[in-house]
Each structure stands twice: as C-alpha cells, then as structure tokens.
Structure 1
C-alpha cells in the first residue's frame, strides 16, 4: 500500500540525540547542583548518564521518556519534592538547546511534501518545546500535526498518539510510516498498525530496533529512497 504520511519522532530522529542533548544535560546538572559534585554524580546515576564520556547510557529513562520522568529522576537525586518546578526549568532550558539536525531538515521535508506526503511529529517531550525546536530550525510550517506527551493523546509506546495523527489527517494507519530511533517509537508504530522505520541517530543500535522495524536506515536522509523503492 502506498504511504500517504510520515510521522517522525523528534529527538534522535529529526535531531541527532547525542550532539543535541549530552552537553545540554551536563549543563543542566551542573546548574541544579550549585557546584556540588556529589549531586552531579547522583543526578547522573538517576538519569543513567556517563559523566566520563558525557553521554546517556542506552537504558537511560531520558531517551524515550517524558520530561516529567526526567524531572522526577532529578528530584530524587536532589532530595526535592517539587518535580513540577524542575520540569518547568527543564522545559525552559530545552527550548534553548543548541539543536543538531540529523540531516538538513528543510530540503528533506520539502522533498517529502513535494511527493505528496503529509508530515507530523510525535514526541515524548512536551508540545511547546517541540514546536519551539521546529521553529528554531525553520521547519515548523512543514508539519500538519505536532504532539507531545502533554497534548492529550498519551505518550509512546502507546499507539494512541500515533492513531490521533492518522485520524487528524483522515488516513488509515496502514498508510502512515512511523520513523523513530527508539524501541518506544517502533513499538507504538507496530501497535498502531503502521509501517515502521528505525534510524540510527539515537542511542539504540540496529540490533535493538530490527525486530520492530520494516527497515533500518542510517538517518532520515535515506527515507525518500526507501519510500520510492519499497512502499511508494
């Protein structure tokens, strides 16, 4: 069946995960610790962040989790009972993160739209931050649908937000391709009855994604070729 729409994850898919978020996370922890090295270590432990390499470990709850889950991890490490306040701080800082596009996004998205595909973003980040990031790199107007975990549709790996995208466009799920870098993304896509494509611009390797994906691509720049060869 011909694909009619593509739904992208954001972090690790549209944006290279490590180049965007590793240095940012270290800065956040240093700020919250107020110079206390022991607190930085405690936060890194909760976030599953390797301070030696300044990278998230593959089992980090940050990779596919929500900003609320990240805030709860930090609150535990800091001995605080106000994850809501920490989440607000994270959202403010995330909106200013220096974004590293996985590939030049504007020409890629324009080529997909020129081929008649409708586009969307579903992220476990919050919607306001997602929209800020897309606007920051000048591609917000390329998408027909943008949702976060707080948009009222739920969060991945639930298929509900993916099905909300299909419903918003009036398409059957089998005409949608879900593209993501994590098992949460692809589990949601499979559960929704969509085609699934894994990309390797996040922490997960091909071996972790292969059983959930119709294809594994190095990055989203290879998507037009796959669509043309396989499902167009």
Structure 2
C-alpha cells in the first residue's frame, strides 16, 4: 500500500512533473555495482563484500563509495581505485541490472496522461545515459541526467529547479520518487513532494524520519496510487 507519512502532506493532487532516481528506484543496479566494487577491493588487497553490504554505500558516487570501503590506510589510492572501478563498470554496466516491475508501466501511464518525467542520478552522467538507454528508459522520459561538472549532485536542488522552470510546472505539481536519503533530502531542499519506494536503500523508518510525503512498497503499488489519486495537468503535454 501507499501511505502518507507526514502530517498535512499528500501526493500533489495535480502532478505536472515526476522526477525519478535510477539506482534502487527504477532499476536494480546493485549487483553490477557490487561486482565492480569487489573487483577493486580484490585489486587493493581488501576482502570482498556481499552485495547487500555494498548497497548501503551507493548513492553518492563511486569515489565516495570506495573511499568508505577501502579504509583509512588506502585513502591515498582512492583516485586510482575510482579509475579502476569505472574501467570495470563501464564494461559491465548492465550484466545483471534489471528494471523493477512496474517501471515502464508507470512511466508510460504518466506520459499518456500528460505528465513530464525525468531521471536524475548521482551516477556519472555517461553511465546514467547508457544504462537508461539500454533499459529502455531514455526513450520514454523527457530528461535524463547523471553527475556532471555542470550541475551539483543531489541533494542540491539546482538541476531540479532548472527542470521546474524548463517544463513550466508549478513547484506544488512536482513529485520526486526515490529510495535513498539523498532523494528525500533533494525534495526537502527544493520544497516539493516526495514518494519513497522500498526497493532500494532506505527503510520505511528512514524515509518517515526524514519527512517523506508518501512511502510505497514498489512501483506497481505507486502506479495504482497514481491512478486513484493523481490528477494530470490540465491541457496535456506541450
């Protein structure tokens, strides 16, 4: 089910723009990320880790991920480790990656009802674009962007603010859908509604504590909620 978590908040009654996270929200990318990470850990003489452990460190970029997992004695080598990680991951970005059930159906329902859609990720932009294309997402959404020098990463709201202006939607008509702390913080920083999904990193308790507007078990449940409660923008797509 989808449940409102913050007193006085709800999914916007009229939605003009839905912005999705990628990892853990639209797609289960964690096994491929873990494979690349363990490749680096082995190369630097560190023990490998289960995917579930690595999953908890995803969301703030490869350099941050490796900086935490390599340990204090290997911090001087984080840049080299990141380059090795990227070399491996760029060759295996979707070996095990799959869309979560309902991802395509939700996006297509939103588009059919005149709602703009976008993907914002803290993954490197070239990888975000490639993975989104290979999974069939890029052709279905209006905008895809990962980490780049042009825009600060989430939870900074600068790029989201740009999208709101670009698509000409009101802030109260924007919904962020994500699975992590950085996603709910992005929504909070931008002053827009947030729906958490429980397919990725954060627990329901994490999302509730940070003030998530709504929490859904998965995208199938979220689509059902949108069909019941969301009023598309008047006038359709422009």
1:74, distance to aligned residue in structure 2 (A):
6.0
1:145, distance to aligned residue in structure 2 (A):
1.2
Match of 2:27 in 1: 15
Could you say which structure has the higher helix fraction? 1
Question: 2 CA distance for matches of 1:94 and 1:208?
Answer: 31
Match of 1:187 in 2: 185
Question: 1 CA distance for matches of 2:30 and 2:85?
Answer: 16
Structure 1: 5+ residue stretches without partners:
45-50
Tell me, yes or no, if the aligned pair for 1:200 and 1:218 is still in contact at 8 Å.
Answer: yes
Task: Provide TM-score, normalisation by structure 1.
Answer: 0.80
* Structure of higher RCO (CA pairs closer than 8 Å, 6+ residues apart): 2
1:182, distance to aligned residue in structure 2 (A):
0.8
- 1:121-161: per-residue Cα shift (whole Å, max 9, x none)? 00010111111111112221111111112162211121222
1:174 partnered with 2:172: yes
Match of 2:34 in 1: 25
**Distance verdict in 2 for CA 1:94–1:74, change over 3 Å:** farther
**Distance verdict in 2 for CA 1:31–1:156, change over 3 Å:** closer
Matches within 5 A, 1:1-150: 1-16=13-28, 20-22=29-31, 24-26=33-35, 28-30=37-39, 33-34=42-43, 39-41=45-47, 51=49, 53-56=50-53, 60=56, 62-73=57-68, 77=74, 80=77, 82-83=80-81, 85-86=83-84, 88-89=86-87, 91-93=89-91, 95-150=93-148
Tell me, yes or no, if the aligned pair for 2:33 and 2:89 is still in contact at 8 Å.
Answer: no
SS in 2 for 1:68: helix
**Distance verdict in 2 for CA 1:156–1:90, change over 3 Å:** farther
SS in 2 for 1:148: strand
SS in 2 for 1:162: helix
SS in 1 for 2:46: helix
**Root-mean-square deviation (Å):** 2.6
Match of 2:219 in 1: 220
- Segments ≥4 residues shifted beyond 6 Å: none
Tell me, yes or no, if the aligned pair for 2:34 and 2:54 is still in contact at 8 Å.
Answer: no
